[in-house]
Amino acid sequence: MAEATGKPFWFQLYLMKDRKVNINLIRRAHEAGCSALVLTIDLHVQGKRWADEKDGLAVPPKLTPKNVLDMLVHPRWLASMAGSRRHNFGNLEHEIEAGGSVDSLSRWIAEQFDPAFDADTVRWVRAQWKRKLILKGVMHPDDARSALDLGADAIIVSNHGGRQLDSAPSSISVLPTIADAVGGRTEVLFDGGIRTGGDIVKAIGLGAHACLSGRACLYGLAAKGCEGVLCALDLFEQELQDCMMLAGLASVSHIPPGVVTAQPPLGRQR
């Protein structure tokens, strides 16, 4: 990644039980010039994702009658995939003996998530990483305040795409109270359900400093490769501009909460 971009980039770390692997990943990220480390704090246990199991989209993927039929009716995509290089977890491929096989590596990863993840774990990562540290997966004001105490430079309000815990609240519903809890002492980033430029306006109006979106860009990538990703980003920009103008807003730095909700959330004064 470092060779492909001249812009600042981040590395998202999923901690494993094997501390040696964690140390190597952190070191490699530092040597590659990553400006920030994003520590995932909501995947210490793999959530049950029954829809993925049903559709054969677990890791590694499995062939089912449904997805086989889907591939057969898209021959051009199938041909391009057949001629593509072998895919694997590149970050881990050379770290462990099981890295050469997707099946064995997937089993190793499933066994390596550490349910003992706690505040001391974050302190350990903070001690290893001397640049910006961002905690991803904050869903409660108390955790936001704890993140500051643990030395986080920013937090990401995220429920992991709603895939980890059924009945967990949406990220957008807890965003205002978390933004109030930190009171401007750190940057609050938002992740979850960002599909349009209007979604960006909503999130910033409720306290976020910036938004992250994965699926929209992945949809573009799946459809048209690099061109599709650029198209998704262009749509974000166009929709953001349209929403701002139609809402009578001149700057994303000044979006009153009343634009997003009928009444400002308790304590939000922007």
Q: Could you tell me if residue 95 is inside a domain? A: no
pLDDT at 122: 96
Do 16 and 127 lie in one domain? The reply is yes
pLDDT at 270: 43
Do 133 and 247 lie in one domain? The reply is no
Tell me which of 158, 192, 226 is where a domain ends.
192
**Selected catalytic residue, list 30, 74, 87, 160:** 160
Which of 201, 210, 213 is CA-nearest to residue 255? 201
Number of domains in the chain: 2
CATH number at residue 157: 3.20.20.70
Taking the C-alpha atoms of residue 16 and residue 60, their distance in angstroms, rounded to an integer, is: 18
Domain span at 9? 1-45+113-192
Q: Could you tell me if residue 90 is inside a domain? A: no
Do 119 and 178 lie in one domain? The reply is yes
Residue with tokens 């109270």: 177
Do 120 and 34 lie in one domain? The reply is yes
Tell me the C-alpha to C-alpha distance, in Å, between residue 17 and each of 115, 116, 128, 150. Answer: 9, 9, 16, 21
Do 148 and 184 lie in one domain? The reply is yes
Which of 237, 142, 139, 269 is CA-nearest to residue 191? 139
Do 217 and 266 lie in one domain? The reply is yes
pLDDT at 269: 47
Query: Do residues 164 and 42 make contact, with C-beta atoms less than 8 angstroms apart?
Result: yes
pLDDT at 267: 52
Do 126 and 182 lie in one domain? The reply is yes
Residue 203: beta bridge partners? none
Q: Could you tell me if residue 248 is inside a domain? A: yes
Query: Do residues 155 and 182 make contact, with C-beta atoms less than 8 angstroms apart?
Result: yes
Residue 140: active-site member: no
Mean pLDDT by 10 residues, the chain (270 residues): 88 92 94 96 85 76 84 87 75 71 75 88 96 97 96 96 87 95 94 93 94 94 92 97 93 82 49
| Sheet containing 132-138, strands listed edge to edge, beginning at the edge strand earlier in sequence | 10-13, 36-40, 132-138, 154-157, 187-191, 210-212
- pTM for this one? 0.86
DSSP 70-121: HHHT-HHHHHHHHTSPP---TTTTTTSGGGG-HHHHHHHHHHHB-TT--HHH
